[in-house]
Amino acid sequence: MNPEWTGGISNRINYQNWSLNFLVDASWGGDIFSLDQYYGQGTGQYQITVGNNDLGNPKRDPVTGGNDSGGVILDGYQADGSQNNVRVPANSVIGAYGYYRNPAARFVYDASYVKLREVGLTYNLPQSVIEKVGPLRGISVSAIGRNLWIIHKNIPDADPEQGIVAGNVQGYQGGAYPATRNFTFNLKLEF
């Protein structure tokens, strides 16, 4: 569950009275078990469990053995080394996506991510304006956004920084709310 490395890039660009800063951070490596995927795929909550199969029939229809058959053919090989051609049901926890027949390892994902963690834009009022206001040395107005974009991740339908909502369990994701985007506006007065 521990990443191989973490890091970030921060920069500030100034032009006349404007200043733009940003922070991108990354965590690379480590594994995370998704309880949400474990139960969600088994109960048909995720996109992977719906749609049509290679025959053009709904995946969730019963497996009949004919051209009207539902189910899916999973990648893999038979015991004799030939390509898998066995259609399996995809309509319940005992089906192709369910946890009943899939090992827990199917729901372990690479925990790597890259995020745009923060962007800030600041405007410093010109001294000519500040002198008219009074005994102030500086006035600036800022808009800042945090947790703006997950640029890259490997775990589907979840924030890789999510965890279990209680306790000190690490490398285990399930039922946690995603991080929220925060926007703040600042007025800074220098006396």
Hey, where are the domains in the chain?
Answer: 5-34+101-190, 47-96
SS3 call for 145? strand
Q: Is the dihedral of CA 177, 178, 179, 182 positive or negative?
A: negative
- Residue-level pLDDT at 70: 93
pLDDT of 165 over the 70 cut: no
Cβ 5 vs Cβ 25: under 8 Å? no
pLDDT of residue 127: 86
Taking only the tens place, the pLDDT of each residue in 72-96 is 998 889 999 999 999 988 877 677 8
39 phi and psi angles, rounded to 5 deg: -80, -35
How many residues in total does the chain contain? Answer: 191
Sequence-ordered alpha helix ranges (H) in the chain: 35-42, 127-133
pTM: 0.80
Phi-psi region of 67 (alpha: psi -120 to 50; beta: other; left: phi over 0): alpha
